[in-house]
Structure 1
Amino acid sequence: MTSATRTSVLRKANKAELAALKDAAKEKFYNTQHGYDQFAFTDPKTLRPIGGMVKGAYTYFTVVYLTEILKTYIEKIELGYTLHELGAQPLTGHSVNIYFYRPQSEIDADLALIYEQVTQEYNAAIEAENTAIIEREVQFQMANTVRLRAEQKARDEQEEADRIRMEVEAELGATRKAVRDSLGAE
């Protein structure tokens, strides 16, 4: 393997690929409701859903009486929330859920954590892939070395057999000629 091949085989970090992963994580974050989700995770053994807290860009507040909608809306806007596209959705009876984007400072803090996690996972994936490439190359070179040693051993054994055959024929050559002459063989 040439040095040029060795350096080009390993995977390198790609800023465009990482940016695409971050954009996908951001899009997922903006489309996820913040809070408890009973289907947040999956048990790998039973494949059943496991509930848990998830980070998302929007959340909802339940208003029990319709007369409190405006009051809740004004309170949340003052706290930095912005109205989500879902707006107000009826719940049961007179109750309503009002959907808001969380304050931008909270969103930015969560996005920074998500970006850091995406970067770490991306770097870990590259490192794992490069480790697998290196291990595969080591196994290939070890097999090549074993094959070359086996070929050399076979050549050495053949040369040794040829050398011994020559010695034996030299020692027994005269006797063999006499036996051939007595048999009438040429």
Structure 2
Amino acid sequence: MSHQTPTPTKDTTRIALVVGIALTALLLVGVGVVALVLALGGGDGEKDDDTSAGQTPEDAMRGFIQATNDADCEVLVLHPVTDLDSVEDCESELDDARDEADEGGYDFDSFTLEVDDLEVASETDTEATITIEATQTFELDGDPEEYSATYTYELEKDGDSWLVTDVETEGVDAPEPRSTDED
């Protein structure tokens, strides 16, 4: 089963919101906004109201990804990986990401993350590691773009809930933003 989720990040290796996917910072030097948008959301998807309570790590991860796609700040602030203190902080980050995307020639609403494979790499009673292979698609200056990457998420159990605490990214070969002379 595949899910679409933007997994942008906030800085360089954490998914601010993979809100997170995917991701707070995803190591996209020239395309930092891509990482932020992926972590904060920017795609469309159906909301899953029960995102982490009483679920398996895999189900919690899928819920987190869905919350990222939906830009569901109420869910995203619960996950330590986002580094967000409140729904208001989340909404502000989304506004900033939208502005940065527009300035860089990206269509913020076109960001989607197609999850090609989601696997629980390890699991104990209190910790889990999940690996996701995904394809990121978006529009840059009106042209469709895509790249693939592997994301490794760390989750910790908090009561009956699994929370996303960290993410690492491998194999990111994202296109550089094109400069436009038209403003």
TM range (shorter): under 0.3
Normalised TM-score (structure 2): 0.23
Which one has the bigger helix percentage? 1
Q: Which has the higher strand share?
A: 2
Q: Give the number of the structure whose alpha-carbon radius of gyration is greater.
A: 1
* More relative contact order, 1 or 2 (CA 8 Å, 6+ apart): 2
